[in-house]
Each structure stands twice: as structure tokens, then as C-alpha cells.
Structure 1
């Protein structure tokens, strides 16, 4: 929890204050003064007696008690300063701009940790070091510009990068997006993105708090905390969008299992965001666009009317909406004929509604009224209105402003003439509106929001398993891949269906066991991890002679210790896996199995625990879902059984967190049963 004095201080000391407003200490003091901090300001600078008309003290030991200290001095002097503030001045809030800490070297990290120890002793809160500060409706404690327009109904923004925060504020200013608060966490020595989000959750007031949260994250130190508080806020009616930087696969490591090769930290981030209901963004323009959409009336359907006086942008927007699952439905019937009669000749109302470059504000008003009251198949409107620069368009923008305030259906204003009608756009924004300069970016952002699922209530599996046996197997196993017998016992204890199998070291054992299994059979090598890569799987063995030949072939493979015999099963090849991904915990994956999981990489992942609803959604969101349903007279897969296996794997890795990689690949499925025919489990005990 952030200390209340950091959020709403009665007094602030700027350590390193300056008359030079082009320094951090000078600019932050100017920002505090210009943006009407109502409390007492204190300056500290050994060379000055007054700074920007504020009384200045030579040393921090001379100042009166203060709630918040903003520190803009060389890193090596910060510890002594913080010690005085903590021990003598009852200071509880600390914002440290200074660089030269953990981002620099080991000595800097040690100094940073010492700062945290001192501040923790007095129950204080530290933002930084190496950050730009904090802006809220009480004060502008940053050394940067611009200071965004502050509004209780604006967005709360938490950033792991000060520079990125500035760029996003600049981008937002152009669209009319306002802010309730901006937190820059810098090195996150004590408080990171997760802790600020926790504070926003635990202090949330449905009547007074902002309902839109934006995050820029460079590293997720506590995924479970982020998941918990993001989910909580969204369930309280908030909307959250986030950028997670550093998502490339350049750092991916080699893995010995299919699951290990497929899972990366970015897959884990995706799974976390989906589970929480966070809309994921990949750039600041997208983040600001999505935030601006959030600030509008919520879209409840997928049918969009495009109202325009320019054909090209409408066509591009139609494409962007359509490819993201939204509809631009045909508008027809007597009401559409009535509307067309009120527009200039050559206009079209079929959707997009094009009322031509000569269309006027009155016609625009009429079109919006028809979409609001008479076209029942329309859920929202996008108005694209620019200008060739021949005349002013205040009247049209005034219509959009009025209709946005009075219509129940969402209206989104795409105003692309950012040069020709900049004055009109500024006037539109000054009235409290938000607009979008690019119709394609807007369309894709609206689609991203539409396709981000709401957080599902997490439930634990009700399947009864032999937990005692599972723990016994894990306890007695060595680190690394489990033996086939251990895998079979573990899956059986977890109620996961597995094809009958036996392991044989001699031809005589094979002959004896095949009588129990029957033909046709499958023989697999035991030893090498990737059986198919070494030719270690032989299918459709239909006689004893073929079995003996197959045994000899398999045992010649390097690393072979024995053969595994199973009855030959038929069905669609499926895949379920699990992977422990650093501090995220376990992810469970599903998709088509066999070689398809590697070639198509069509899989869905979810963080454990995976509920029944989540497992069904994972299956239904696969690109290959139609194959699972059954196509062209091919028998499909029992989805209920498939989803149950996903749940059971989630349950297994919860009971046995030592499992770091698990593959069921393939599972063979049809409408009646799904059986694991190959399984691999790797464990790692501390």
C-alpha cells in the first residue's frame, strides 16, 4: 500500500531545487508551483537562499518536517539525505529522480537496497530511484513536461519507463485523453507497477475513482499480484490496457519437450493478460487509442455504422473492422429510403453512409438520429469527418459533440484533418471529447477490445484424484524425465486416460505381452526423448514376425534401452502440455497434436488453475477448432473429454509443482474417448 502522505501531502521538500528550470530540481519545483500545489513547499540547495521565490535551506537537516521529499541530487548523497528525512523529519513519501543505482552497477544496487531499508523502517513509500515522479490531482511532482490535463474521470497510468510515460502523455494530448494520475516507478526498488495497481485496487471507490487503468511494463516481478488486482479492478467495473515491452523471442532457449519449445515468457504474459481481462497493446498509439475508446460509452454489440463524407477512409475502416470480427451491416428498408431522400444526390446509405464531400452539419445530425432511433441493427456509430481546408467545420464538430452527449449508442469521432482543421479539433477536445486521427488504427483497436475476453471466475477442479499416490511418485522420483512406468502411474492417479502399454527388454517378453495387447500394435523406443526424430516409432504391427523385426530395428537406435508396446488406436491427434514458466507459475497448453503442434504452432495457453470455462474457451479459440468439431464427414473429438483432460493436467501440476514440463502428445481422440498414447514428464525438485 502506498503511504497516504505520498498521495496527498501537506508539505513537500525539493532536495536539489534550482532556479534553473532546465534541471530536474528546477523544473519539478516550477511544476509544483505552476500546478497549484496547495501545501507548503520547501527547497534545499547549499548555494541558494531562495529558489523560485521559495525559501531555500542549505542542508536537509535544517528544514521543518515534511510529508514528501523529491530528491534530485547525485546518487552518492541520497542515502545520507534519506536517513535524515526518515529519522528526523517524519517524511513518509520519497520520489528519487537520481540515476546511478541498480541500473548502473553492483555498488549502485547496494546503495538502492540501503535506501529501501531506511524507508521501510519508518513505513514510508519510495518511487524510483531513476524515475520522473508522480502526477495526481494533488500535485505535479515530476521534472518533465507536458503536464497532462488532470481530471478525476481521466485514466490512471502506471509506467515502468519515465521517457515512455512522457511520450504517451504527449500522444494522449493530441486525442483529448485526460489523466487522473501518472505513476513512474523507475527502478522499482520498493514499489513497482504491481504495487501501484494494488494500491489503486484497494483504494478504489466506484463513485470517485477512475475506471480506466493504463500500464507500461518492462518486467513483471510478481505476476500473481498483477493478476489478482487487475482481475479485481475489472470485476469492479474498470478497464485495463497494458503494454508489456520485451516480448520478442530472441531470448528463447532450447527445450527438450514440445511444450518447452512452445512456451516463452511472452506466452505467459499473454496468458496472464487474458486471464485477467487486460487488453494487450504493442505501442503507445495503440494504448492511447484503446484508452480513448474505453472512455466512451461501452460497445455492447458488433454492428457498426460508418458515417462519412470521404469514401476512402470508410473503405479502410470497413476492412479493419471486418477482419477483427466486427460487422458493417447493410442498412436497407423504408427508413433507409427516407434518409436517402434527405441527402444530396449521389449519397449512399447502405453502410458506409456516404453523404459526400458537400454534405453539411444538418445532414450529419439527421444521419446520426436515424442510426440512433430507426436502424435497430446498428450498435454504434463511427463518424469520419475531415476537411479539404476550404472552409471551417465547427458546425459539424458541434453536432458530433452534442450527439455524443445525448445518444445512447456509442459514437466515435475519427477526425483525420489534423492540419487543416486543427483549431476545430482543439475546440472539440476542449469540450471534453476524445477523437481519433487514424481510422485504421481506431478500427483495429476497437477490434482488439471486442476480442479480449472478460476475466473468468477461477474455480478449482472437482475431479477426485489419488493425491497421496501422486505425491509418493514425485517423492520417490529423481530429477529429470520420469520413467514410462512412473508417467503411466502418475497419469492414472490423476484420472487421465492412457493407452494400455508394456515395456519389454527382450523379444521373448514382446511375444508374451502381445497376447494381452493384441494386434495391430505400436512399438516405440524407450530412451531417446524425441522418438519420431530417431525413427523410434513403428505403427501398424500386425504379426509376430513384424514385431520381432521391429524390435531389432528399434534396439539398434542409439540410446535405446527397451521398447514400449501399445495397442494401435485411431483418432484425431491432440496435444495437452504444461510448463513451469519462471515466476508466472504453470501454464497449460492445448492444440492439435503430433507434428502439427510444431509445424502449425496452433495452441492456446492459460495460467493454472484452469477452470472448466477456460478449458472450453481454449479449445474453441484454436484455429483448428473446425477439425476438432469434425469436417467433411470426418468424426470430431469429444470436446467435453478434451476440456476435462486440460483441467486434470492443471490439477496435476497444482498437486505436483515439481513438474516443470509435461507433454501429452499425441492424445488420440474421437467422439467417444480420448486416450494419451505418448506422454513425457520432467520434474525438478529444489
Structure 2
């Protein structure tokens, strides 16, 4: 990967002196940016001796040396042969910006397969096709085919599926005085993908923050693993979130599961920062250009009382706590007041402090206070008549050196939000080495993101924990005999993973039903067994509280007739007689296999209204007890499980353990494409899965 960003020599295929030659624009960027390596040009159809001073060759095999990198901006139909020519000459890395491959119909898909086959044959790694490929501000490497000036050097590295979106981000960076380290426009990512570049940027010393724009995630687990191992912040904007097309809902799980929520859960596990606004690439980078905020204790300051109130509201909503710097701090601050009419506190109203030197002293005192983890400050630089009055000095004194000194000396962040005419603020931003935030909301929200990132990095890394009493081999044998949609028999599989269920018998006649009920013991529950009644309640196939042989016999017939009315011609296989469980809290546990991230377990409020309330959380499989415990606390129904309105508290430890066991079942056997346990009844002591169904593939 190093030679992609630090090639000592480059060959540009298809280079020509023609005015509309896009490869020549790539050459122009390399020359303009000051790339110092050797450059060669190859064009079989050209008679030119040189292009802009670059010596031309008719064929790759004629080059005087094997270049580290080949750039091929040619019509798509010529790319596979160009790859083979480079491979035969010994070139092992290529940048392919050309479009017309798998994004362009069946013919393009065929070309994509040819391209991949040629690359495999000669062990060539390539970026693209259909992207702007690579930029490195450290050495002047610039391979996009649009004319570009070099942006300021900095710590942001970008990985993007859309080259145009990446260039748009450059413009935002320039206005905010944020510098670029490296850029990878991966396009169709037929060879190298976002994971490859993420791993490289993670160890690149010039990269301080990694920003990704992706429209699709193909290998989600690899992405999560790379991000979790990266010590740098990884920020992802995932688009293509409203893809049309429904999924037929076999179960409650399929109905309530949402790709976006799965992505949120996956990113949370890996410590990835997900953003939903493109401008947040800039905002979050600003926050991470400040020193790490190692705790939640914040000091808020402003000469405007209204902004102090706004900061108080925003900090409280974000989850910051207001630092208590101690009475000696406040006694010192009070000396800076002019009229002594404002009570000092946190947030600190500095409206009575006119001397700019006092502001600098307050910054120093706040950031060096042991009870303060970070600080924020809002002020303005208004357009004012020329003068030497106290307000001009108050608003127009440059405190940048003192501010930066306090930040560097303390090792703590000071977020600054400054209002004023746009040209003035832009000029100030370009003259500072610390960021200026555009609004209080941006500043506080992204500082909280920064603080939570460093908090997660200080925690123990996630590690799944397999419970005891799991019989994996027996479960594998059970699955060998079951395919397609499985109903209550799924409960037998769950028992092999230590998940309790009430005693049950399958009855295929009225006589069997009565005998089974007697053997189990009254009262009982009766449920229809039919592949045509996925949701049994809707088919009138669930009857509870049956206490006699007569009731069981009558109910057997009634369930059969209800099924026939629900779906004429439905297959009636009998009823399941189940010991009626004692009262408790009815919850839900399910799972499905996500195309990108693999098995996912869902859990939350259950019963017949599970899809209406949609009070659920999710976790990648396998999980552990700590992760599930934290997620359970986010449920709206959590307070109910804690014994609301005088009810007995549910056994949260047992419910947590059941969810973890389900996660291991799904992780061990990905052929279980969907799983639905509803209800899962949580008692004061213990938990039981009362019903279940699964969709199992071969």
C-alpha cells in the first residue's frame, strides 16, 4: 500500500498532447503539485516525442524501468488488456479512474470480471475503477483527472466512493483551515476497498483522523475489525439509506429490523463515529484537532449572558456536567469584574470583565484547574467604528496566542465559537492553529463526540463471552433435520443452548390433546401448528387458560375451524399443548443475518404489539452480558421490568443471559436466517421462551 501513496515513478497510460485528453490533466496536477518522482507516458497511437516535457513511449514494455504505479484512464474496453500489459512488464500497482464497468449494465459487468481476472493473473492490486483514485499532499501525488490546486496539508485523510463528494469536502476544508493528508477515491472498489485504505491510514503517521463516505458496505465485519483496532477517530457518512424494496416479513424480527439501526449498532461496537450531515466531517475534525477531553466536567464562558444560558441548555442535553472549579477559582475571577454586578459561576458570565487580559487569565485558570476537563467560550468580533473604547478593546483584541498557549500548556480542549462578518471570521480561522466553531450547537455536540470517543478507547476492548451449558454438536444435528420455516419445534433447539421453555406436547387429534393436557397438568395453552399460520394470533390459533378436558376438546375443534376461516385450504397439523406459564413480563428476542454484518440479535418489548411499539435494541452476534445490560437500559420498557407501579422486578440477569445465548446460537449457525421468540416471559426469578419460529436454510 505504501507504493500507492509514495511511488518513486509513475506511468500514465493514454497520455496525449490533445487538448481534451484527460490523462494530460492528471499530468498537469502532478506537475502543479510538485511531484518529484519520474513520470513516463505511454500511448500506442501517439507519434509525439513528449507531452509537456514527459517522454512518450508506444508500449509499456519499452519503458526504461518498471514504474511503481501505473495510471490507466482509458475507455473501459481497453482496460483489461492494459492491465495484462502492465502485469507482463512487472508493474504490480495500478490506479484506474475509468468508468464503464459494473456500474454500467451487463456489458460493464462483463468488463469488470475481465479486469478482475487480469489483475488476479498478474497479482496486481488496483484502486477503482470509476473513481478519482489517489492524492497525497506530502509528496505532491495528485491523480484525479480534474485540475486541482493543492489544499493545505493537515491531518484529515479521506476515503470515498464518490470522487465528486470528496472534492466538495476539499472546498469546505479550505474555508475552515483544515488540512488534508491523503485521499482515496475508491469508486467501484473491485480490488482495494475502504477496509484496505482504513488499515493503511490507521498506521500512517500523517493521518490524524480518518473520514469515510460510503454508499455500500460489503464486508461489514472486516470494516468493524479494522476500525476497532484503529487508535484514531474513524468518521463515516453512510448514504443510500432509503433503498426501495420491501422484505417479506416471516417474523416480527424481519418487520422491525432496519438496516440503518443495524449499522448504528455495528458502528457503536467498533467505536466508529457515524455522522448524518456531510458538513459534520468538518465539525468533528475541528473537535479532534483539540486535545482530548478526558472527562465530562466542562467550564462554559461568554461575555453575553444569553449565550451562557444557551450553553447551559446544550451542555446539559449533551450529557456534560458543569465543573466545580472551587471557591478559590471564583474568588480570583471576581477580581476581574468592573462593577461587581455579576455573580460568578459556571456557566461564567464575563459581561462585566472588559479587560482582554482578564479573558486570557480566565482561560489559563480554567484550563489548569484540576476539576475542569475542558472549556468552551462564545464571543463575537463585530463590525465597529474605529475607536479605543473599552468595548472595541473587549471585542477586537487578538487573544489567539494566549488561548493557544493555555490549550497547549494544560493539554485540555478549549472550544471557541466566534460570531462576526463572514470575511472577518474566515480570516481569523486561517490565522489560528486551533479551530473556530460556527455555532454553539456544533461546538458542544462535537466536543461530546470527542469526549465519548476517548472514553471508549480507555475502556476494555469488547470481547464476547460464551455461556456454559451449550451443546453445539447436538444443535448441529438438530439443524441437519430441519429446513425452511420451523414453528414451535424451534423451542427444542433453544433448549440445547440452555434456554428454558414450558413443557409441551404436539397433539394431532382431540384425544391426543386431552391426554397431553392431563399429562402436562392444567391450566394449559393451545396453539395451532400450521405452516400457513406464521402469526398464530391473527389466525385465531392461540387459546389460553384451558382448565378441563371438555375445554381442551372444544378448543381443538375451534382452532381448526379458525384456521380454515383464516386461510381456506391451510394445512392443519394439530395443536401444541403447553403448560401455562405464570405471570411475568412479556418481552421479545429475535435475530436475523444481515448481508453486511452477519448475525444480529434483537430484543425488547414483546407480545402482539411488538411491531407497533418497536421498543427494541440490537447487537451483533456473538455478544456479552455487559453489552446487553447497557442496551437493555435504553429500552422504554426497562422501567417496567424494574417493577413499575408496585409490580415485582423482573429477573434482568436471566433475561440478559437468554439474549446472550441466542446471540451465540445465531453466531454458531448462520443458516438460521431469521429467529423469532415472542413472547419471552421474564419472571421475578428466571425466564422462559414461550413461543418461537425460525427460518433455516441449507
- State the TM-score, normalized to the length of structure 1: 0.90
Do the aligned partners of 2:353 and 2:359 also contact (CA within 8 Å) in 1? no
Structure 1 residue 132 corresponds to structure 2 residue 149: no
Name the counterpart of 2:538.
533
Do the aligned partners of 1:126 and 1:190 also contact (CA within 8 Å) in 2? yes
Structure 1 residue 611 corresponds to structure 2 residue 633: no
Match of 1:226 among 223, 228, 232: 223
1:140: how far off? 2.4
1:190: how far off? 1.0
1:307: how far off? 1.8
What root-mean-square deviation, in Å, do the aligned CA atoms of Structure 1 and Structure 2 show?
2.8
Counterparts of 1:274 and 1:413, CA distance in 2 = 28
Name the counterpart of 1:141.
143
Distance 1:231 1:525, change over 3 A: same
Counterparts of 1:433 and 1:276, CA distance in 2 = 28
Name the counterpart of 1:96.
96
- CA-to-aligned-CA distance 1:350-384 (integer Å, 9 cap, x gap): 3332323984532321221232234x543211122
Match of 2:486 among 482, 486, 507: 482
- CA-to-aligned-CA distance 1:416-438 (integer Å, 9 cap, x gap): 43615235424434xx3223212
Counterparts of 2:661 and 2:72, CA distance in 1 = 53
Do the aligned partners of 2:584 and 2:684 also contact (CA within 8 Å) in 1? no
- State the aligned residue count: 668
1:184: how far off? 0.9
Distance 1:395 1:464, change over 3 A: same
1:543: how far off? 4.2
Do the aligned partners of 2:84 and 2:122 also contact (CA within 8 Å) in 1? no
The residue matched to 1:183 in structure 2 has which SS?
A: strand
Within 5 Å, which residues of 2 pair with 1:293-312?
A: 293-312=287-306
Match of 2:357 among 351, 355, 362: 362
Name the counterpart of 1:397.
400
Name the counterpart of 1:239.
233
Structure 1 residue 10 corresponds to structure 2 residue 8: yes
Do the aligned partners of 1:146 and 1:170 also contact (CA within 8 Å) in 2? no
Structure 1 residue 259 corresponds to structure 2 residue 264: no
Do the aligned partners of 1:609 and 1:654 also contact (CA within 8 Å) in 2? yes
Distance 1:319 1:9, change over 3 A: same
Name the counterpart of 1:663.
676
Structure 1 residue 637 corresponds to structure 2 residue 650: yes
- CA-to-aligned-CA distance 1:423-462 (integer Å, 9 cap, x gap): 5424434xx3223212213323334455565584323404
The residue matched to 2:99 in structure 1 has which SS?
A: coil
Name the counterpart of 2:560.
555
Name the counterpart of 1:589.
602
Counterparts of 1:99 and 1:314, CA distance in 2 = 53
Counterparts of 1:124 and 1:313, CA distance in 2 = 57
Query: For structure 1, which segment, 310-319 or 630-639, has the greater mean C-alpha deviation from structure 2 after superposition?
Result: 310-319
1:613: how far off? 2.3
Distance 1:471 1:350, change over 3 A: same
Name the counterpart of 2:387.
none
Name the counterpart of 1:674.
687
1:222: how far off? 1.3
Distance 1:128 1:579, change over 3 A: same
Q: Which runs of 5+ in 2 are unaligned?
A: 385-391, 564-569
Do the aligned partners of 2:368 and 2:410 also contact (CA within 8 Å) in 1? no
Name the counterpart of 2:471.
466
Counterparts of 1:211 and 1:426, CA distance in 2 = 20
Structure 1 residue 77 corresponds to structure 2 residue 72: no
Name the counterpart of 2:210.
213
Do the aligned partners of 2:491 and 2:691 also contact (CA within 8 Å) in 1? no
1:68: how far off? 1.3
Distance 1:358 1:340, change over 3 A: closer
Match of 2:366 among 364, 371, 393: 371
- CA-to-aligned-CA distance 1:456-514 (integer Å, 9 cap, x gap): 4323404232223211211111x222242x32321111110112222323333333233
The residue matched to 1:395 in structure 2 has which SS?
A: coil
Do the aligned partners of 1:393 and 1:421 also contact (CA within 8 Å) in 2? no
